[in-house]
Amino acid sequence: MSEELQEPHTALEMAEFARVSDWVFDLDNTLYPHHSNLFDQIDKRMTTYVAQLMQLERVEARKIQKDYYHRYGTTLRGLMLEHEIDTDAFLEFVHDIDHTPIEPDPALAAAIKALPGRKYIYTNGSRKHAENVAARLGIIDHFEDIFDIVAADLEPKPNPGPYHKFFSDTGIDPKNGAMFEDLVKNLRVPKQNGMLTTLIVPLGARDVLHEEWELEKRKDDPVDYVTDDLTLFLQEILAAIATA
């Protein structure tokens, strides 16, 4: 991951996607743009849930929420382990949001449909939320299945366990797979298992993040490609594999 951040990907580079038969997409801030602020709604609903559960002011509730996120991978995981909450009720509450900021994206839908092989959504959120988002985007019919936090036995990415359950449940050989995510940490296990990995960053962030990543570059970097435009990136993949 270096020059890809500033220069267009070459057809030769992108041609390695020709080996991919299974395409795996995270949901929030990946399939829809970060500036939609949809996840911000979910984040605030989680704060409200914690505040009501523990009878705290929002400022204190948010501190606990973020502490659980950093220690356990998700707020849900922390609440499960420390408070034995009703997980179904939590998922229903935090995903009860306004999905109208998500608009249909015909270009994205066409690109996903054209990808050769199977397509999956893999999210730390709920299936219902993923279905709502995918329906709004106009892409829901192009996916083989949705692997949500319940299918993962409530164990979140980036823990290794749910990835391996995902591979097993779907029959995916990760060496023939590609993963698209907005969080670097969630690409580590896919990369270790042979998947091609693409990090989705907020629009206009590629050049800003380039210098930071170059300074912090490590041999075990889990990111193969970076893009701030998923649709354009998928179109580049399709063009490259068509001539590979």
pLDDT in tens, 67-114: 999 999 889 999 999 998 999 999 999 999 999 999 999 999 999 999
pLDDT at 211: 47
**Which amino acid, one-letter code, is at 120?**
Y
The CA distance from 40 to 98, in Å, is 11
pTM, whole model, 2 decimals?
A: 0.88
Spell out the domains of the chain, with CATH numbers in brackets.
3-35+103-242 (3.40.50.1000), 38-94 (1.10.150.450)
pLDDT at 205: 59
Per 3-state DSSP, the chain is made up of helix, strand and coil in percentages (nearest 5) of 55, 10, 35
Q: Please name the residues in contact with 127: beta carbons below 8 A apart, sequence gap of 6 or more.
A: 146, 148, 150, 151
Pairing label, strands 177-181, 145-147: unpaired
Angle, helices 58-72/38-54, rounded to nearest 10 degrees = 110
The CA distance from 82 to 80, in Å, is 6
Say how many residues make up the chain.
244
Q: Count the Cβ atoms, other than its own, within 10 Å of residue 169.
A: 14
pLDDT at 197: 96
pLDDT at 243: 87
Contact indicator for 24, 180 with CB cutoff of 8 Å: yes
pLDDT at 113: 98
Which residue numbers in the chain have pLDDT < 50?
1-7, 208, 210-215, 217
pLDDT at 232: 95
pLDDT in tens, 159-178: 999 999 999 999 999 999 99
pLDDT at 130: 97
